[in-house]
Amino acid sequence: MTSVRARRQRPNPVHDDGEDARILQSLGYTQQLHRRMGAFGNFSASLSVISIMSGTLLLFGYGLNSGGPAVIMWGWLAVGPLVLCLAAALAEITSRYPTSGGLYYMARQLGGERWSWYTGWLNLLGLLGGIAAQDYGIATFTAAWMNLQFDYTPTPGSLLALYAVILALHAALNLFGTRLMNILTSVSAWWHLAGAVVIIGSLALVPSEHQSAGFVFSEFTNNTGWSAPVYVVLLGMLLPVFALAGYDTSAHLSEETNHASVAAARGIFRSVTVSWIAGGILLATLLFAIQDYAATLNSPTDVPVAQILLDALGMAAAKALLLVIIVAQFLCGYTVTASASRMIYAFARDGALPGSAHWKKVSRRTAIPANAVWLAVAVAFVLALPSLYSSTAFAAVTAISVVGFTSAYAIPVLLRLLHRDRFSPGPWHLGRWSRPIGWVAVVWAGAVTVLFLLPQSSPITATTFNYTPVAVVVAFLIAALWRRFGRSAYHVPHSSSPTEDKQFEGII
């Protein structure tokens, strides 16, 4: 990406809120949400959803068992540039269509109503799966802290109850309005970066012994039950793909962002770039700091990260740093909930959901779609119910999120490639690199979508079954059924071209 040159035909004017509203009107919508978020807040929102102390750490144990340190490190290095291609291609389209609907609106303009309908449902599945994965992960880390502090041993039922409390807290905080969101997302960005620096510095300087580079980059562990190493390596890719997902948050918050046609696009690309670099350093530091590999894999806390901190830094430091991680994850979950609620609001605004009139309501006092917030957390709770009996439920929920996100990201990019005449670039675009980057992104997204529908553990039993395909099929059945009976209510406005759209060539 560093070879992409930035060129401008004329200076980028400073838009005010009225200009943003005019652009939104040209896309077919009237401004209803409050634009109180700046460029840094928008970037921070995606950075918080990606969350280097969330996705990377939540699936760290999964990665250790599905390939071990070698797959974690090489997978992270290999997947990052591919995710950046998809993020850049999506950012380019976001610059032209900065709406809360995000992906499904893009698909409508570039491919038509059918593409739009199913893109929206896939995006919604990814967002709801993201809430479930994120908040259930917070519950496991909180339980690990309670294990160290109170010798608490969680059960599936108690974890689900803790998960429900976290969901409720995120919903409640989301009802306070965009001003609080702008503050919390900015705090979240600094908390993530500062927290990562503290954890990395502690693990690098305090332990008297570290693992060798040979261990970190070549140790292979297979506890999946599958005998084919290549398949195990591919399964291990779930960690980096899930950890670097969620950057469409910048698009979903674009109607609350000033200068959205540039700020939202930059927020997408820059959040992935920063997260890939910082996340790689964090993962490497954790792997080098492992003191007892067997103990880490079989930690009584059920959270390998907690065991690494305990072995390397001692009880007091481990508990303190776990709290730093939990706060970062909580802020991430708050932002994921905000993003999902905006998607529900936008989709309902266009008549795509059963009961759309209810879900599209916006509070007059806070300009927040409160009903959409509660729907998001309610569905997320249902997605996690299999955790009561399934030992692989968490990995399945993350896979649901990845499949929904990645396929929904790729569809507008594919349509933009197939229908060049339907797309005029916005202020931020890739120039001559647009098509090659786009094709790499689409091929990558297709491979990832197929991969994570496959079984993750062997033998396949009721407790190890990957129910991702079931969730995807159910979502498609609901979408198809509602399309048959509710299609007449679905209407995504046609956009007109603002005169400014062709005045710029974008910058990364």
Q: At residue 32, does pLDDT exceed 50?
A: yes
Residue 2: count other Cβ atoms within 10 Å of its Cβ. Answer: 5
Q: What share of residues in the chain are helix, strand, coil (percent, to 5)?
A: 70, 0, 30
CA 142 to chain centre: 21
Lowest mean pLDDT among 185-194, 296-305, 426-435: 185-194
| pLDDT for the residue 199 | 95
**What is the 3-class SS of 93-143, one letter each residue?**
HHHHCCCCCCHHHHHHHHHCHHHHHHHHHHHHHHHHHHHHHHHHHHHHHHH
User: pLDDT tens, 46-94?
Assistant: 888 888 888 889 889 999 999 999 999 999 999 999 999 999 999 999 9
Position with higher pLDDT, 350 vs 439: 439
CA separation for the pair 463, 108 (Å, rounded): 40
| pLDDT for the residue 496 | 60
| pLDDT for the residue 7 | 37
Percentage of the residues of the chain whose pLDDT score is greater than 90: 47
Residue 17: count other Cβ atoms within 10 Å of its Cβ. Answer: 13
Half-sphere exposure of 206 (CA within 13 A, CB side): 20
